Amino acid sequence: MQQQKFGRLVVQSLASTDAHYRKRWTCLCGCGNTVVVLQDKLKAGITKSCGCFREEFVKALVDKAAEERRGPTHSSWQAMIGRCTNTKYPSYPKYGGSGIEVCDRWRYGEDGKTGWICFYEDMGPRPANTTIDRIDGALGYFLENCRWATQDQQAANRKNVGRPRKTPPPTTL
């Protein structure tokens, strides 16, 4: 009989069946660990390893973020935090001083990750010739309201807040 493989897991034997007829299978992971997994999770592709894949992914992300710490993405993150939280920052009055905030995930982090790692995980590396832009300038910095944008994109997005609008001169026929 051919062994079934799901991601990194190879099914070894039936481990148990519960009162609701849900089967649990003993699987051997590609890394050498053994794990018992619900059949539904195997078939749906929800469980693909013993957990080693996630650990490898997080380690790779942390390594990449550490490398990026010396680059423009980290500089953008630092500047965003500074202008929203540091009263001595030159642009603080326009940002933190006017109520613009950075989401807790990017500021403090979550799930054992720092704010920088969370920011990098959400936004990815900063593309060349872009900076962080808030889609709605009245709202703060959070994933759904931020993007990497060129200066032209940002200029088109800017609102003339507090400035009187110039009305065109009346036209005559």
CA gap 157, 151 in Å, rounded:
10
CA gap 151, 36 in Å, rounded:
52
CA gap 73, 84 in Å, rounded:
17
pLDDT band of 160, cuts 50, 70, 90: very low
Specify whether 142 is located in the same domain as 89: yes
Number of structural domains the chain divides into: 2
- Determine the angle formed by the axes of helices 72-85 and 115-123, rounding to 10 degrees: 120
Q: Quick: pLDDT tens for 8-67.
A: 899 999 999 988 899 999 999 989 999 999 999 998 888 888 888 777 777 776 676 666
If 0-12 CB within 10 Å is exposed, 13-18 middle and 19+ buried, where does residue 114 land?
Answer: middle
CA gap 147, 17 in Å, rounded:
48
Specify whether 139 is located in the same domain as 97: yes
Residue 112 has pLDDT above 60, yes or no: yes
Pick 14 or 165 by higher pLDDT.
14
Specify whether 135 is located in the same domain as 71: yes
Q: Residue 68 has what pLDDT?
A: 63
Specify whether 20 is located in the same domain as 70: no
pLDDT band of 131, cuts 50, 70, 90: very high
CA gap 107, 35 in Å, rounded:
36
Minimum mean pLDDT among 97-111, 134-148, 159-173: which range? 159-173
Specify whether 30 is located in the same domain as 61: no
Residues with Cβ within 8 Å of 33's Cβ and at least 6 positions away in sequence, in order, are 50, 52
State the average pLDDT for the chain.
Answer: 86
Mean local confidence (pLDDT), 107-128: 91
Domain that residue 13 falls in: 1-39
Q: Is residue 169 part of a domain?
A: no
Minimum mean pLDDT among 8-17, 108-117, 127-136, 162-171: which range? 162-171
Specify whether 35 is located in the same domain as 65: no
Specify whether 141 is located in the same domain as 80: yes
Q: Is residue 119 part of a domain?
A: yes
Specify whether 70 is located in the same domain as 107: yes
Residues with Cβ within 8 Å of 171's Cβ and at least 6 positions away in sequence, in order, are none
The tokens describing 106, both together, are: 């990017």
Specify whether 68 is located in the same domain as 92: yes
pLDDT band of 110, cuts 50, 70, 90: very high
Mean local confidence (pLDDT), 118-146: 94
Specify whether 6 is located in the same domain as 74: no
Q: In angstroms, what is the C-alpha Rg of the chain?
A: 25
The answer to whether 28 and 12 have CB atoms below 8 angstroms apart is yes
Q: Residue 169 has what pLDDT?
A: 54
